[in-house]
């Protein structure tokens, strides 16, 4: 069960993720990747994942939720925000 405090933290983070996804730059990126995946010519695209470095970039001290399940959701949302 997720506490009401954790739920509010997750809702705020989800709202931030939704706002970032709605930015014009994200629509442009979606179109560029669609063209790229359809083998249409576009400018060079770069996709970077900080694999192996997440423990340094997003530590347990950065998580504000108390519940283990909520922390998992929080980590995912914060990592999406970070990669933006």
Supply the pLDDT for residue 38. Answer: 97
* Selection from 26, 27, 81, 42 nearest residue 58 by Cα: 81
CA atoms of 11 and 17, how far apart (whole Å): 10
Q: What is the pLDDT along the chain (84 residues), one digit of tens a residue?
A: 899 999 999 999 999 999 999 999 999 999 999 999 999 999 999 988 888 888 888 888 899 999 999 999 999 999 999 988
Supply the pLDDT for residue 83. Answer: 86
Supply the pLDDT for residue 70. Answer: 96
């Amino acid at each position: 069960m997720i506490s009401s405090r954790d739920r509010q933290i997750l809702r705020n983070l989800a709202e931030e993720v939704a706002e970032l996804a709605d930015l014009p730059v994200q629509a442009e990126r979606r179109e560029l990747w669609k063209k790229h995946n359809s083998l249409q010519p576009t400018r060079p695209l770069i996709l970077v994942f900080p694999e192996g470095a997440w423990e340094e970039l997003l530590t347990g001290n950065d998580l504000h939720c108390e519940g283990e399940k909520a922390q998992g959701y929080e980590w995912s949302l914060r990592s999406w925000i970070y990669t933006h």
